A and B are shown apart, each in its own frame.
Chain A
């Protein structure tokens, strides 16, 4: 079954309560996201989900040379970065988009839906 990455974006540096404005709002979003995750599991869509630490805590590693080169900070300079994501399974995009809408409402952010490559895509690239 096709898999999709649902990612949620947020600012590079977070406010005291994440991006939520208040402790209550944050707890509410956590509870709603938890309930949404439970539903994903119960309906067989859940593959993985988690929230990420701030983008400023990232390190870029280039291991292509003799010695790995390390750079502080995220790979791309941007105003907003991935703050968390789900990996889900869904039969088609319509189902994935519906789930993304529910996830967006639960976590209080916009969600980007992106399909994973399938085995067929890779075969096609290899010309098989």
Chain B
């Protein structure tokens, strides 16, 4: 029974919220009514049995809950409106329902909301995560997260943020915004921050993948396919990425046999599809497709030594043209180190204005170590450790630094 309810929650939550939002024109009301409908299911289904169509049951129950609430809150002369809502239930048309879910995603990811609010709202309204779960995922106190979500809902209502799929001319930009939210959720899961946090938050990565699949189903594009492939190829390596002692394992040292072949196969198939679409005259690949292709080069190599680094460098060159940000340049430099050597890469890295970014110092530390500049490397490790927020990464960087100290002492003593 718990399984049936959990499954219904996974599959139907967004549909129920989306349908109720369209019907009642109020996201907050829809959320509360959907939550009440699921609470009723928890009470009733064990004795009454699981309904034949759980989604329809939940939507109908949610509608009744919403009407109860309107009735409690409304004035007497709204009787006609109430009657209309009660008897004028629109037929459940699957196509329209899916459009509703898409509307819901676009509303939650509206550019007039702060990025934090977009992430939180999407996880709550589309993902069905509870408020405490979202607060925990982003390491903020529950009241803070509650206020963030409440404020966003109030803004949607007061500012009349529309509940619709954007016009064709605005669609590419708005889809980019949705993908950015999903990528943020995934990254927070994959490199979770916080001293007492698991290094990988599978709840967030799995949810991001599920929502990206949903967006791809509802609004297919090369970039959403690229993002899904990128997430799958990254998630495929999750088990090999943290050692039994809770330490980050870098790509070159990972046990490639522990990678998830099914996820890799699916990711590779998606990347091939992107390549075929581009070759057939589709739009040039955007950042997610390029990042997916880079990851596919890594997952293609059965051994780290077989990695085609020049191919990776070429892909990064294209990415830099699309996104000339210092973080992309940093990742490109890591590939350059494999092709042209650590000295060439270090010259590139040293130019980047990334002093507050742990990966900048971690990359410098590794390049300096490879160049035999132990004292400089140790300083860079110290900076990286001070800035890193992920427990596994801190453990890895600390070990590398301490090994360096040992080697340094040895060479000093010899």
Contacts and interface: CB of A to CB of B under 8 A. Distances in A.
A92 to B, nearest CB: 4
Nearest to A128: B75
Contact of B162 (A94, A113, A114): A94
A92 B106 CA distance: 14
B305 interface: no
B162 A92 contact: yes
A2 interface: yes
27 contacts: A2-B160, A91-B160, A91-B162, A92-B160, A92-B161, A92-B162, A93-B110, A93-B112, A93-B159, A93-B160, A93-B161, A93-B162, A94-B161, A94-B162, A94-B166, A94-B170, A96-B159, A96-B160, A97-B112, A113-B159, A114-B159, A115-B158, A115-B159, A115-B160, A117-B158, A121-B158, A128-B75
A54 to B, nearest CB: 30
A117 B162 CA distance: 16
**Secondary structure of the B contact surface, majority rule:** loop
Contacts of B162: 91-94
Contacts of A114: 159
A91 B159 CA distance: 10
B117 to A, nearest CB: 14
B124 to A, nearest CB: 20
Interface string A67-104: 00000000000000000000000011110110000000
B157 to A, nearest CB: 8
Looking at A93, A97, A114, which has the most chain B CB atoms within 10 Å of its CB?
A93
Nearest to A127: B73
Nearest to A120: B157
Given A92-B161, A93-B110, A94-B162, 16 more contacts: A2-B160, A91-B160, A91-B162, A92-B160, A92-B162, A93-B112, A93-B159, A93-B161, A94-B161, A94-B166, A94-B170, A97-B112, A115-B158, A115-B159, A115-B160, A117-B158
A95 B110 CA distance: 13
Interface of B: 75, 110, 112, 158-162, 166, 170
Looking at A2, A92, A94, A115, which has the most chain B CB atoms within 10 Å of its CB?
A94
User: What 9 A-B pairs are tightest by C-beta distance, nearest first?
Assistant: A92-B162, A92-B160, A115-B159, A93-B159, A2-B160, A93-B161, A93-B160, A115-B158, A128-B75
Contacts of A128: 75
Nearest to B154: A121
Nearest to B74: A128
Contacts of A91: 160, 162
Contacts of A2: 160
B151 to A, nearest CB: 14
A17 to B, nearest CB: 33
Contacts of B159: 93, 96, 113-115
A92 B157 CA distance: 10
Contacts of B75: 128
A114 B159 CA distance: 7
Nearest to A4: B159
A128 B74 CA distance: 6
Nearest to A124: B73
B290 to A, nearest CB: 30
Interface string A33-72: 0000000000000000000000000000000000000000
A97 B161 CA distance: 10
A113 to B, nearest CB: 8
A91 B110 CA distance: 16
Looking at B112, B160, B162, which has the most chain A CB atoms within 10 Å of its CB?
B160
B5 to A, nearest CB: 33
B312 to A, nearest CB: 39
Looking at A92, A96, A121, which has the most chain B CB atoms within 10 Å of its CB?
A92
B110 to A, nearest CB: 8
Contacts of B160: 2, 91-93, 96, 115
Contacts of A96: 159-160
Nearest to B163: A92
A91 B386 CA distance: 50
B6 to A, nearest CB: 35
Nearest to A123: B75
A113 B111 CA distance: 13
Contacts of B166: 94
Nearest to B161: A93
Nearest to A98: B170
A117 B157 CA distance: 11
A102 B112 CA distance: 16
Nearest to B157: A121
B315 to A, nearest CB: 35
